[in-house]
A and B are shown apart, each in its own frame.
Chain A
Amino acid sequence: MLNKEIFSNNTISQRGVWRATVIVIFTLLALGGFILSLTKGALSISLQDIVGAIFYDHAGATGQVIWNIRLPRTLVGALVGMNLALAGAILQGVMKNPLADPHIIGISSGAGLAGVTIMVLFPHLEYLVTPMAFVGAMTAAIFIYILAWKGGIRPVRIILAGVAVSAFLNSGISALMVFYSDRVHGALMWMVGGLSARSWPHLAIILPYTVVGGILALLGARRLNILNLGDDIARGLGLNVEFSRLAMTAVAALLAASAVSVVGLLGFVGLIVPHGARLLVGSDYRYLLPASAILGMAVVTISDTLARVAFSPVEIPVGIIMAFVGAPFFLYLLRRDA
C-alpha cells in the first residue's frame, strides 16, 4: 500500500513534513476548485473581473452573476463537501468500517425523510428543517446500530442494515414526493444531490452547523484515534467507549444532516474523500480530519464545476458526477476488504 511505503521509509520528522506538504497541496487544490467554480459556467468570467465583482462592483451584469449566483453556490458547495467528508471520516472510525458513508449507510436518508416531511407537510416551519434533519439522521444511525449489533459490530452487517434502513426511508421520501408533487420544487435535483440555485440563504443554514460540527469533530480527533485501537484497548486506556461512539456519531449526523438539508442526497463524498486523505496523510485523526475537510471542499467545488460545464448548456446535478466516480470506488473497497 502506498501509505505504508511513505510512512515506513521516513523518520518521524520527515513524516511531519510530508503531512504538512499534503495538506498544503489539498489547500491549493481547494483554492483551485474555488477559482474554477467562480470562472467557469454558462458564462466564462476572467479572474480579474471576478475580483472586481467581489470587491468593487456588485451591480454590473458580471457582478450580479458572481455575487448572486456563483460565489454563494461555490461557498455552499465547499461547506457541503467539508461536512460530508468529515461525517464520512468520523463514521468510518466510529463504525470501524471503511465503507461507512452517511449516504450509503442511510444516515442521509434519515435526514432527508425528516427534512422533506417538514418541507412538504409543514412548510411554515421551514426553520426546523435542519434540526429535524439532524434528529432524522441520528435516529437512522441508532437504528442501524441496533440492527447491526449482535454481540459486536461487524462491517458487513452495518452495510446491510444501512442498505435496508436506507431503502425503507427512501421509499418514505418518494411517497411524500409523489403525494405532494406540486409542493416539492426540483424534487429530482434534491434526490440526487445538486447545488443548482443554492444561494446565500442556504449558506446561512449550513454555516453554523459547519462551524460547530467542525470544531466538535477536531476536538474528538484523539478519541477517534483511541477508538481505532479496538474497544478492549480503548477501554483499558480509560476511554468511555460507548459515550465516545455515541457522541461522535452525533457529530457526524449533525454534519451530514446540515449538508443534506441544503443539497439533498449527495452521495459518495464521505466515502471517497476520507479514503483519499487517509492514503496520503495516514490514519491519525488529528491530521486526517483537517485533510479530509479541505479535500472535501476541493472535490465538491471541482465536481460541481464539471457538472455545470460538461453538458453545457444542460446542467447536471453534482450528485451524478459523484456517483459516477464513487460507485466504482465503493466496489473496489468492497473487494479489497473482503
Chain B
Amino acid sequence: MAIIKAEKLNLSFDEKEVLKNLTIAVGKGQIISIIGPNGSGKSTLLKALSRNVKPDKGVVYLEDVDLTQLSSKVIARKMAVLPQSPQAPKDLTVRDLVEYGRYPHQSWWQGKSGQDDVCVAWALSQTGLTEMSERIVSTLSGGERQRVWIAMALAQKPEILLLDEPTTYLDICHQLEIMELLAEFNQEHNITVVMVLHDINHAARYSDFIAVLQQGKVFAMGKSAEVITSHTLRSVFGVESIINMDELGKPVVNITGLTKKRG
C-alpha cells in the first residue's frame, strides 16, 4: 500500500500549467527524491502533497484516504513538512522550536505532557542538539539551524517526512550530514522520506527511488540506477554526462558539458 499517493494532479498558476495530470505513489519506509530542472514543478508537487497548495484537479491520498477529508492535526501526526528556508522568530531557543513539533499532539485546553517532553528529548538527541537546546536558533550556523527544523519535524513523531531542498545554502559537509541523518531515521525508525533535491548525486546515493520531473510530468521514476542515465540527463536537464557505479551499485554522475542543440 502506498503511504502517500498523488493521483492525476493538475495545477496552474496564472494560466501557466505547473503540474499536468501527474500521478506518483510512495511506498511505506522508502526514501524518494524528486529531481528536475527549475520550473519542472517539483516544489509545487511537494507543496501539493503537504496541502500547502490546492490542486485544481486530482486527489492526494494519505494511506488511501483523501487528504481533504482528514483534519489538519490528524495529518500532522502522520506527516511532517519542512519547507525551503523556513524562518523562526528571532528570540526562540532550540527547545522552544522543537517543542512546537508537539503541537499536533496537544489539545487546545491542555499544555505540555510528559510524553511531549520524552519526544522532544528524543528528537534533540537524534539530531545531536541536546547540548545546544538552550541556544537561540537565530545565532546558530546554517547547518545547525537546519538540524533544529528537522528535530521539530521529528518531535511530531511522523511516519512520513516531506522536505523541500533540505540542503540548500549548506556547505558540502553539512549537506552530507543532513543526508546521513535522514537515511538514519529512515533505517532505524522506518520513516518514509520524500524530498526535493537539487544535487543529482545525493539523490542517487541516498534514495531508494527517484522521480524525475519535466514540465509538470513524471519523465521517469524508478531505482536510481535505472533512472539516472545519460539519456535522462540529456533530455531533461540538457547536459552531457559520464555515469559510473559506486561500490553500492549507485550511479555517480560526472557532468561533462552542455548538450549541443542542433541548428
Contact = CB atoms under 8 A, between A and B. Distances in A.
Interface of A: 1, 3-4, 7-8, 11-12, 219, 222, 225-226, 228-233, 235-240, 282-284
Nearest to B138: A4
B133 to A, nearest CB: 8
Nearest to A238: B76
A100 to B, nearest CB: 15
B54 to A, nearest CB: 11
B16 to A, nearest CB: 13
Given A12-B95, A230-B83, 20 more contacts: A1-B90, A4-B138, A8-B139, A11-B134, A12-B134, A222-B108, A226-B100, A233-B86, A235-B51, A235-B52, A236-B80, A236-B82, A236-B162, A237-B100, A237-B103, A237-B104, A238-B72, A239-B103, A282-B91, A283-B89
B87 A237 contact: no
Contacts of B79: 236
Nearest to A8: B136
A232 B149 CA distance: 13
Interface string B69-112: 00111111101111100111111110111001101101010000
A236 to B, nearest CB: 3
Contact of A232 (B83, B90, B139): B83
Given A7-B93, A11-B134, A237 B101 contact: yes
A233 B81 CA distance: 7
B50 interface: yes
Nearest to B156: A237
A232 B52 contact: yes
Contact of A235 (B71, B72, B88, B108): B72
A145 to B, nearest CB: 18
5 contacts: A4-B90, A235-B51, A235-B81, A236-B83, A238-B71
Counting chain A CB atoms within 10 Å of each CB, which of B76, B97, B139 scores highest? B76
B91 A219 contact: no
Contacts of A4: 90-91, 136, 138-139
A232 B93 CA distance: 20
Nearest to A241: B72
Contacts of A11: 134
Interface residues of B, number: 41
Contact of B76 (A222, A229, A231, A237): A237
A238 B135 CA distance: 26
Interface string B24-40: 00000000000000000
Contacts of B92: 283
A239 B72 contact: yes
Interface in B139-166: 139, 153, 156, 162
A236 B108 contact: no
Given A7-B136, A8-B139, A232 B100 contact: no
Interface in B48-75: 50-52, 71-75
Contacts of A7: 91, 93, 136
Contacts of B90: 1, 3-4, 283
A12 B100 CA distance: 16
A230 B104 CA distance: 16
Contacts of A226: 100, 103
B96 A236 contact: no
Given A235-B81, A237-B76, A228 B89 contact: yes
Instruction: For the complex of A and B, list the 4 residue pairs with the smallest distance between their C-beta atoms, beginning with the closest.
Output: A238-B76, A236-B81, A238-B104, A238-B73
A61 B185 CA distance: 77
Contacts of B76: 236-238
A187 B81 CA distance: 53
Q: Which residue of A1, A7, A228 has the most chain B CB atoms within 10 A of its CB atom?
A: A7
B86 to A, nearest CB: 5
B93 A229 contact: no
Contacts of B50: 232, 235-236
A284 B92 CA distance: 8
B165 to A, nearest CB: 13
A294 B186 CA distance: 48
Contacts of B106: 222
A229 B86 contact: yes
A240 B92 CA distance: 22
Contacts of B52: 231-232, 235-236
A239 to B, nearest CB: 6
Contact of B81 (A219, A232, A240, A283): A232
A239 B76 CA distance: 9
A236 B162 CA distance: 10
Contacts of A283: 89-92
Contacts of B95: 12
Contacts of A284: 96
A2 B47 CA distance: 37
A284 B100 CA distance: 11
A123 B249 CA distance: 84
A1 B83 CA distance: 28
A238 B86 CA distance: 16
Contacts of B108: 219, 222
Contacts of B47: 232
Contacts of B82: 236
Contacts of A12: 93, 95, 134
A155 to B, nearest CB: 13
B83 A3 contact: no
A273 to B, nearest CB: 18
